[in-house]
Amino acid sequence: MFEALIEALDGAPSRDVFSVNGRDVPRLCGEFWTARQRQACSLHEISYRACFKPQLPRYFIERLTRPGDVVYDPFSGRGTTAIETALLGRRIIANDINPLSVILTAPRLRPPEREAVAERLARIPPATRRAEIDLSMFFHPDTEREIVGLRDYLAERRRSGTEDDVDAWIRMTATNRLTGHSRGFFSVYTLPPNQATSPQRQRQINARLNQQPEYRDTRAIILRKTTDLMRRLSEAQRANLRAASESALLLTCDARYTPDIPDASAQLTVTSPPFLDVVQYSADNWMRCWFNGIAADEIARQITVTRTLAAWLTVMSGVFGELYRVTKPGGWVAFEVGEVRSGRICLDEHIAPLGEAAGFTCVAILINRQRFTKTANIWGIANNVRGTNTNRIVVFRKE
């Protein structure tokens, strides 16, 4: 199958080789997929920090699987791989230790009709009180009471076991709309839209911009986002999503220990792990956790945050051991990493030998070209100075 992948490359990619255990592995750079969001299904447009574009998993799913195959993501995040897997008629296994992942993923496998969402929202009254924590720096009092009303309603539906697809969709959409930088969010202006800043920091933003939270109609915002998410969703895609939801396995585990996944069950894994200590998921999601009744401090204790490359590689070694167990013979792993520490550490060069130590064969490293101006800068990324600047996908096969 991988030969077809290589033959499908657009143009003539730049090439070099990287030595893995004394064996030369091709390292290819090209524009393998477009990053333009509007060429992907609108259902993906859920804000979440450190997520890759849906074109990345689609590229590998189309080339390395067939309809009905199982595609796995052990670090599922907002569910990009899972949703793309379903849209393409494959079966889903997804895992993330953060329970918000399931909240953001599962409802999009069973999207309700907009009219059903509108009818349900009309039945949910605002609360007569404000939140038990101070959120005044983010929300107008009336908006806050609407949010608390939603939170109370959803908590009771979950507690009573009556939460249905419409409720789950409202929970997912409201969770996604809590804070952001436009009138499409419940909050006053704040950045970034895919995480919640601290109350103290928000007070500083408000003072600097001389702003006060104004009223935002939460029902109207949820309905507008519902329309946006479904605007390019075809009936065939809805059918694929529904079919995938019937067998989907959505887990909340440490990726090193996933006993619910059968041996040799996944044809392909497409994933991107947390990169060292670059992203603080529990801190970013404190308000989302509050809205969903999740103990953020408990999540913080469960999520592995590594401060050194050696510690990160130790964790990833355990992940690869588990990936080898769940991957079919002849199956694949596309492991997306980047460069960190201002470009000084290119994680693909460390992941390739790690995967081989677990039993996989490293087949290639693909670097998706983004905004490079010189070929000489591709391999060392000298023209970008901060953050994760490239998609570097290490491709493994289980012989």
* DSSP code for 164: -
Question: Is the per-residue pLDDT at 182 higher than 80?
Answer: yes
Using alpha carbons, select from 376, 65, 384, 111 the residue that is nearest to residue 231. 111
Q: What is the pLDDT of residue 298?
A: 80
Q: Give the residue, 329 or 297, on which the prediction is more confident.
A: 329
Rounded Cα distance, 179 and 260, in Å? 35
Question: Is the per-residue pLDDT at 162 higher than 80?
Answer: yes
Share of the chain above pLDDT 90, in %: 71
User: For residue 144, how far is the Cα from the chain centroid?
Assistant: 27
> CA angle 169-174-175, nearest 5°?
100
Q: What is the pLDDT of residue 260?
A: 98
Q: Give the residue, 351 or 30, on which the prediction is more confident.
A: 351
Q: How far is CA 54 from CA 24, 241, 297, in A?
A: 30, 15, 30
Q: Tell me the whole-structure pTM to 2 decimals.
A: 0.91
Q: What is the pLDDT of residues 86-109, one digit of tens each?
A: 999 999 999 999 999 999 999 999
Q: Could you give the dihedral angle defined by the CA atoms of residues 91, 168, 230 and 84, in that order, rounded to the nearest 10 degrees?
A: -20
Q: What is the pLDDT of residues 247-303, one digit of tens each?
A: 999 999 999 999 999 999 999 999 999 876 655 656 778 999 999 999 888 877 777
Share of the chain above pLDDT 70, in %: 87
| Helices 218-230 & 114-122 angle (0-180, nearest 10) | 170
Joined together, the tokens standing for residue 287 give 């308000």
Q: What is the pLDDT of residue 38?
A: 53
Joined together, the tokens standing for residue 134 give 């101070």
Joined together, the tokens standing for residue 246 give 């019937």
Question: Is the per-residue pLDDT at 243 higher than 70?
Answer: yes
Length of the chain: 399
Rounded to the nearest 5°, which phi and psi values hold at 329? -55, 130
Residue spans per domain, the chain? 2-101+234-282+303-397, 114-228
Q: Do residues 268 and 60 touch, judged by C-beta distance below 8 A?
A: yes
DSSP string, 322-343: HHHHHEEEEEEEEEEE-EETTT
Q: Tell me the residue type at 206.
A: N
Joined together, the tokens standing for residue 267 give 């044809």
Question: Is the per-residue pLDDT at 379 higher than 90?
Answer: no
Q: What is the pLDDT of residue 374?
A: 40
Residue 242 neighbours by CB distance under 10 Å: 13
Q: What is the pLDDT of residues 203-226, one digit of tens each?
A: 999 999 999 999 999 999 999 999
CATH class of 2-101+234-282+303-397: alpha beta
